[in-house]
Amino acid sequence: MSDFWWDVIDPIQSVLDGVMFGSIYALIGIGFTLIFGVMHKINLAYAAASIGGAYASLAAFQLLSAPALVVFLCAAVASGVIGYAVYICCFRFIPEHLPLATLMASVGMLILIDEVVVHATAGMPEPYPAMFDDVMIDLEPFWVRGDLLMIFVLSVIAMMILLYILYRTRLGIATRAVAQQPAAAQLCGIGQQNTNAVTFIITGALGGLAGAMVGASVGILSPLLALPLTVKGLIVTVIGGLGSIPGAIVAGLLVGGFENVFQYFRGVTERDIYVMLLLFVFLTFRPQGLFGRMSTRD
């Protein structure tokens, strides 16, 4: 093979790894975007709740030494519960015409969840179970890391379940109806508050899975993961277009591949500079995002 070929193999490899890891960003982005779609509000506590759920699932790991997959499911359930609590505390009782109040309430919740985690673990990182982390699949000339492949597959399954719920069930009809035309949804007898609450639980579960997979891929859980994940999730949401699920998926994979290739070329310390640059380019040239519309509110 030519020298050129050897030069591009490694960057391509890092893009592949990044895209697979980016499926986690896609999940977090979907969470942000779905809540925005239904309530037209941003839940800034979302990524912190996801990490919080992953921490809660550590109990299953440390006390029961449950297998990794069970721990992941526990994380999803725990984050679903936290999601509901966030809804009740920060969204349910704050009047609709005060979006800033809900935003600040969710910031408070982000800090609260973060602090609870820090105090419960004395701020020390905790080992988190991984799956297939010793597997390497050889696809000459590339390698597929077993743990990344598992993350990707689990994310795709979670997304398919979500899309099934949204497009094939009564609950999905209610969710989309409330998102598109809240007044008309009420006239159809769809309870807006119930639908909002269920949306928080579902996106919470999705985030819990994402948080668990972050822990699994790094091998440890740290409270320091919450803020970067929040930022990445918001970037993915903006690049994908607020309210667009396909947008969040594509943008998640894009950001994942993009950051990893820059990590390969410029190192982990400079990586996020380029991600911010990507966000900047989007905000300047395509502020509505990949799949967004210029104006969705009527």
Partner 1 sequence: MLEVQGLVTNYGMIEALKGVDISAAEGRITCVLGPNGAGKTTLLMTIAGLLRPRRGSVTFEGRDITAASSAAVVHQGLALVPENRLVFPDMTVRENLVAGAYTRLARNRGEAMADLDRMLERFPVLNARVNANAGTLSGGEQQMLAVARALMTKPRCLLMDEPSLGLAPLIVAEVFNIIRELNEDGVTILLVEQNAHMALTVAHHFFLLDQGLVAFDGDPGAMAEDEVIQRAYLGSAGG
**Contact footprint for partner 1 (CB under 8 A):** 170, 173-174, 176-177, 180-181, 183-191
Which of 130, 145, 137 minimizes the C-alpha distance to 213? 130
Instruction: Kindly give the residue spans of alpha helices, DSSP state H, lying in 43-187.
Output: 46-64, 68-87, 99-121, 146-168, 170-180, 182-187
Interatomic CA distance for residues 265 and 271, integer angstroms: 9
| Closer to partner 1 by Cβ: residue 189 or 267 | 189
Interatomic CA distance for residues 156 and 20, integer angstroms: 10
CB of 95 to partner 1, least distance (A): 13
| Closer to partner 1 by Cβ: residue 190 or 218 | 190
CB of 194 to partner 1, least distance (A): 9
Residue 149 · residue 19 · CB < 8 Å: no
CB of 179 to partner 1, least distance (A): 9
CB of 193 to partner 1, least distance (A): 10
User: What are 24's two structure tokens?
Assistant: 């986690």
| Closer to partner 1 by Cβ: residue 177 or 206 | 177
| Closer to partner 1 by Cβ: residue 151 or 179 | 179
CA distances from 103 to 1, 87, 96, 100 (A): 55, 12, 12, 5
CB of 279 to partner 1, least distance (A): 26
Please, which residues have CB within 8 angstroms of residue 141's CB and are 6 or more apart in sequence?
9
Interatomic CA distance for residues 270 and 148, integer angstroms: 23
| Closer to partner 1 by Cβ: residue 163 or 279 | 163
Which of 77, 69, 78 minimizes the C-alpha distance to 129? 69
Helix (H) or strand (E) holding 34: helix 3-39
CB of 210 to partner 1, least distance (A): 26
| Closer to partner 1 by Cβ: residue 185 or 205 | 185
| Closer to partner 1 by Cβ: residue 119 or 293 | 293
User: Three-class SS of residue 45?
Assistant: coil
CB of 190 to partner 1, least distance (A): 5
Q: Is the peptide bond preceding residue 141 cis, with omega within 30 degrees of 0? A: yes
- Taken as a whole, the chain contains a residue count of 298
